[in-house]
Structure 1
Amino acid sequence: MSHIYIYSPSSAVRDKAAFRRGIARLQTLGHDVEIDEAALHSHTRFAGDDETRLAAIARAADSEADIALISRGGYGLTRLLPELPYKKIARSIARGTRYVGLSDFTAFQSAVLAKTGAVTWAGPALGEDFGAEGVPDDIMEACFDDLVCGQGEGTGWRLPKTDGPALSRFGKPSAEQAPEFKLRKATLWGGNLSVLCALVGTPYLPAVKGGVLFLEDVNEHPYRIERQLTQLLNAGILGQQKAVVLGAFNRYQLGPHDKGYKLQTVVDWLRSKTRIPVLTGLPFGHVPTKVLLPVGQQIELMVQGRDALLYWG
């Protein structure tokens, strides 16, 4: 049994039913769930005013929980970054608390990495994942269980067929005439693309060189994704990485004006502008099937044919 602390550092919880389902699901899995006193507070669009949410983060750090899990993302953490209790958060991580979340939580994770070097975890949120109607995704639950039990050593996925030709220049062909290569001693970092771009030029974006940058986003048209990737490219951030790994970019709608312009167009464009591998298909983002990723951890990235593996064991 693990001690899981639920708190709300970003947007207000509107779907109370999903919140309750998530709590019940975690308890059914055998976890001891503690709910922060302000988890369901609301102040305009936020889960309480800034002081309330900062206090909730501090309580999460003091909880000595095994997992500090956000209730949801949304928006709200970037305005808190100057006041976050970084030393308290880093001490709690050193004691064993693992902070888990995604989306707006990217701001927290990036700032903690930039200010302290501590590792946090990109993964599920309470309502969106454990509180989903029906049965939560089994891969997500298995990855979460690995984290809770301290057994997770890496994550693998099957690359789309379109990645093969684009990656062939980075390694020798395998038996499938697909690329085979390995990147060692790289810092894994990233998260939500929009949030990361909002941190460019601030002290809260980690200055990672020789890293593997993973990215995802939701409700963003491919041209907006390209515009944000352009910002990271022109800021020199992409050029300092060993690889870029793209997760899910979903819940957008193409229109007649696009005339064939789509997400693959953006991926092809990015590959034409960089000299590093750009992999796709990572099971992470605003999708039911998501893996957990250690933000700030040293990893290896291995590709053999269409099989990709991020290893941190």
Structure 2
Amino acid sequence: MTHSRTIELIAPSGYPPDPASVERALLRLREAGHRVDGIDAVSRRYQRFGGTDSERASDLNRLADRAYPLPDIVLAVRGGYGAVRILSALDYDGLRQRLSNQSVALVGHSDFTAVQLALLARAGLVTFGGPMLAMHFGAETPSAFTMAHFWRALSEPAFTLEVDSPQEECIDVSGTLWGGNLATLVSLVGTPYMPQVDGGILFIEDINEQPFRIERMIYQLHLAGILARQHALVLGSFSGVKAYEYDNGYGLSAMIEHIRSVTGIPVVTGLPFGHIDDMVTLPVGARAHLHTHAGGFRLSVEGHPYCA
């Protein structure tokens, strides 16, 4: 049984194109006993964004105001593009002072990765890669898997994810779990908003990117020296990939094998995370232990915000 939560909506990127999905999400959350605040975030429009840069930054900066009541969950309305435009306007010191050691869960994925990595790099805050209001909570039929894992991740001090997906090699490593959307992550390389993680477990996903583009972005992480500092690279979903005759046998599998040979670090496949219906919720910046075997892998995490 899920306890009643106060959920604050934010729109750091785009606006929701389907009002019906928003209405379904709001109705479901309220019927489940949750209080939903920040409703204006779903109706704001400025060009292709969910409000002006100032409005979207204010969604997050108000959490640094000690006079502002903290919600239990801060939930991104959707992804898209626009988060990178507000990174320089965020109050990292204020957010660190207000949110450190609090149980507040900031949740989203896709373009929200920019905010998550910036908060980790500049404020040391652990957030959650997970479902968003319009796509998941507002789906015509929400995924029971996604919802169950979401509430579990936010309600327990530690949890373990078991994935039945054959692996090429067996590893047993521990480190900081971090990552998110690949294109967004790569766009932060060389900026003050890219976390400097040593001995980490890096997870990535993307949508509508062809294998050669995925490889090129992974190469950037490799050539920048970021992959060499990680214990493992964990691949989530890369949905929307299309096969073309020009590829001549080069696809995701060939790309992954090449990355394995070039980077020299373990590459784990099959993580149910990304632009998919059935997705797990992962703490970005938490402590993790990853154990792989021939039949799959086990990922255990702890040290994230939770509210029992």
TM-score with structure 1 setting the length: 0.90
Runs of 4+ in 1 over 6 A off after TM superposition: none
Matched, 1:51 2:54: yes
- Partners of 2:188 and 2:202 in 1: how far apart? 15
- Partners of 1:71 and 1:132 in 2: how far apart? 13
1:301: which partner in 2? 290
Describe the shift of the 1:191–1:154 C-alpha distance in structure 2 as closer, same or farther (beyond 3 A).
Answer: same
2:32: which partner in 1? 29
2:245: which partner in 1? 256
AA of the residue aligned to 2:60: I
Select between 112-121 and 250-259 the one with higher mean Cα deviation: 250-259
Percent of aligned positions with the same letter in both sequences?
41
- Partners of 1:130 and 1:119 in 2: how far apart? 22
Correspondence for 2:20 among 3, 17, 26 = 17
Correspondence for 1:99 among 106, 110, 117 = 106
- Partners of 2:69 and 2:160 in 1: how far apart? 27
Structure 1 runs not aligned, ≥5 long = 168-178
2:73: which partner in 1? 67
Which aligned pairs between 1:259-278 and structure 2 lie closer than 5 A?
Answer: 259-278=248-267
Matched, 1:183 2:173: yes
1:112: which partner in 2? 119
Describe the shift of the 1:11–1:63 C-alpha distance in structure 2 as closer, same or farther (beyond 3 A).
Answer: farther
Describe the shift of the 1:128–1:141 C-alpha distance in structure 2 as closer, same or farther (beyond 3 A).
Answer: same
Tell me, what secondary structure is at the counterpart of 1:104? helix
How far off is 1:54 after superposition? Answer: 1.1
- Partners of 1:254 and 1:34 in 2: how far apart? 43
Correspondence for 2:152 among 106, 124, 146 = 146
Tell me, what secondary structure is at the counterpart of 1:121? strand
- Partners of 1:63 and 1:247 in 2: how far apart? 35
> Is residue 5–residue 63 contact of structure 1 (8 Å, CA) maintained in 2?
no
Deviations 1:114-143 (A, max 9, x none): 011110010001111111112x11111111
> Is residue 64–residue 95 contact of structure 1 (8 Å, CA) maintained in 2?
no
Aligned length: 295
1:76: which partner in 2? 82
AA of the residue aligned to 1:182: D
CA RMSD of aligned residues (A): 1.5
- Partners of 1:276 and 1:252 in 2: how far apart? 24
Select between 82-91 and 107-116 the one with higher mean Cα deviation: 82-91
Tell me, what secondary structure is at the counterpart of 2:42? coil
Describe the shift of the 1:133–1:183 C-alpha distance in structure 2 as closer, same or farther (beyond 3 A).
Answer: same
Tell me, what secondary structure is at the counterpart of 1:199? coil
- Partners of 1:55 and 1:35 in 2: how far apart? 11
- Partners of 1:31 and 1:257 in 2: how far apart? 51
- Partners of 1:11 and 1:87 in 2: how far apart? 26
Tell me, what secondary structure is at the counterpart of 2:250? coil
Structure 2 runs not aligned, ≥5 long = 303-308
